[in-house]
Amino acid sequence: MSTTTSWRPSLTLALVILALLASFGSTTDPGAFIAACETNTVNNAAICYANASIAIQAPLSGRPPVALPQQVVFLGAPSGLTAPPVVDLNSSTSPFFAIPPHGSLTISNLSLSSAALPTGPFPLPATAFLSLLAVSTQPTSHVTLVNVNITTPSCISLALHQIAACTVSPSPNFTVSTTSLVVHSYATSSLSATNVTLTCSRPTSDRPTPPPCLARTVTTSQQLLDALTEQLLPPAASTIGEVPLYLFLPIDTSLAGIPTPYTLPTPDTTADTYCPSALPSRLTQSRIVIAGGRIPTPPPTPSNSIPTRPGSATPMPQQPSTRLPELDLAHMPSIFQTNGPFNRVVLRNLTLTNLPYGPVGKLPYSLITAMLWSVWMTERRALGWTQGSQLALQDCELRVAGEELAMWAEAWDQEQRVSAHDRGTPGRRSGRSSGSSNSSSSPGLAGSGSQVDGGALLGGPLCVLNIDDVVLNNMSWVGSLPVRF
């Protein structure tokens, strides 16, 4: 039943497609599905409401897909429904519907079952991500998915999408579990996806295992511990122990007050010694990455703190200011333990505070808090370890005591003098900004690109030491790594 109605402008701009399922019953063909929608011939638009579940029959062989209006909306789950209606796409790899050039389709608040998705190529290109095979698209068309659950008959399709998400994780945009992929926010020129959950319909015992990775966002210390602990307990421990784990930390988080109910033997000694741990066993994943995002910082409030153009009272435009999320380690040593030389923990884009001292048996190294004794590794070897680092810090900031900062500055200064002597040039401290890496020094304690910042050349107090590409006691520091007092 097709009628002409007058829509508000905001509705005519929406591109949506869903089903008027109460009119169809439980099964319909693509043509009848669209015929039951409300249409606006002036704007060449249609809106289809779904208030019950329905199955769409696959088109007959050789029959072209139903051409959609320029703007189409499939809208389900009206107010009051506890679960979104289900539209069964019959596992069809032939398109039911065709979006015209420059047209758009919006699917909102629906569950799509038996929805065929691409099973190749590998890696999955961005143009194929969440591309419904039941919908034929054009290079200039656009699909929007909002609050949609998609169940695909192919677990290979699910795995391909999970791999695509894993390659950009840790990220706030994706959550990857053993059985699903949640797309929180993702956009390309042809697709916009918000709160889309993808699963496959095959039994769990018949699915490819293990998943390519596990990824999620954590906002509290308990969520961080839960994400690590879940992979150490049955049944997960028996199937995904080697799966990389990616955790995204968008806000400041503190480990202060977390329970440490477990006692584990220290991993790098033969002595019968134990230490408290927040986890029931050692970390088994081959790779664990905990990364932060960027937190916006408020602009300066006093008017005299805003720079102006020379000779003008007009304030200069200010770039948005951001900072790294802070992870407070609460002076807790050995709360995480790696399981062997092939485990790797990476901390990225974080400000690490309240770093603990190490155990007495590791003196004098245990007095260096920048060695991050919260992570206890199987081996903590001296400088020159070449088998890869079990603990890596990438673009992190460490806050240490003033005495330790002075130690690092002296060590760096000595390295510069040795390097300058080898080059036949006088050595001196560099006062470059923390983001640059233009100074050159021979590999060693400080490593290439290391520098001191904080007004050293101007005679001001030393407050920041930047260290790039350091490998020390089986821990590497990569990128600009300010060590602050």
Q: Is residue 98 helix, strand or coil? A: strand
Beta bridge partners of 145: 107, 193
Determine contact, residues 19/49, Cβ cutoff 8 Å. yes
Compute the distance between CA of residue 170 and CA of residue 191 in angstroms, rounded to an integer: 21
Total Cβ atoms within 10 A of residue 319: 6
Compute the distance between CA of residue 190 and CA of residue 146 in angstroms, rounded to an integer: 14
Compute the distance between CA of residue 458 and CA of residue 248 in angstroms, rounded to an integer: 39
Compute the distance between CA of residue 180 and CA of residue 183 in angstroms, rounded to an integer: 10
Determine contact, residues 367/357, Cβ cutoff 8 Å. yes
CA 303 to chain centroid: 37
Total Cβ atoms within 10 A of residue 75: 24
Q: Which of 46, 48, 87, 92 is nearest to 69 (CA)?
A: 46
Residue-wise pLDDT tens digits, 140-151: 999 999 999 999
- 33 sits in which H/E element: helix 30-35
Residue 335's region, left for phi above 0, alpha for psi from -120 to 50, else beta, is alpha
Q: Which of 159, 93, 154, 94 is nearest to 123 (CA)?
A: 159
Q: Is residue 184 helix, strand or coil? A: strand
So what's the pLDDT on residue 427? 45
Residue 448 has pLDDT above 50, yes or no: no
pLDDT tier for residue 439 given thresholds of 50, 70 and 90:
very low
Total Cβ atoms within 10 A of residue 349: 19
| Peptide linkage before 235 cis (omega within 30 of 0) | yes
C-alpha distances (whole Å) from 465 to each of 190, 321, 351, 410, 478 are 45, 22, 14, 10, 14
pLDDT tier for residue 414 given thresholds of 50, 70 and 90:
confident
Q: DSSP label at 315?
A: B
Compute the distance between CA of residue 185 and CA of residue 164 in angstroms, rounded to an integer: 14
Residue-wise pLDDT tens digits, 184-226: 999 999 999 999 999 998 765 556 667 889 999 999 999 998 8
pLDDT mean over 23-48: 80
Residue-wise pLDDT tens digits, 247-289: 999 999 999 988 877 777 665 554 456 677 777 777 777 788 9
Compute the distance between CA of residue 14 and CA of residue 272 in angstroms, rounded to an integer: 67
pLDDT mean over 90-95: 91
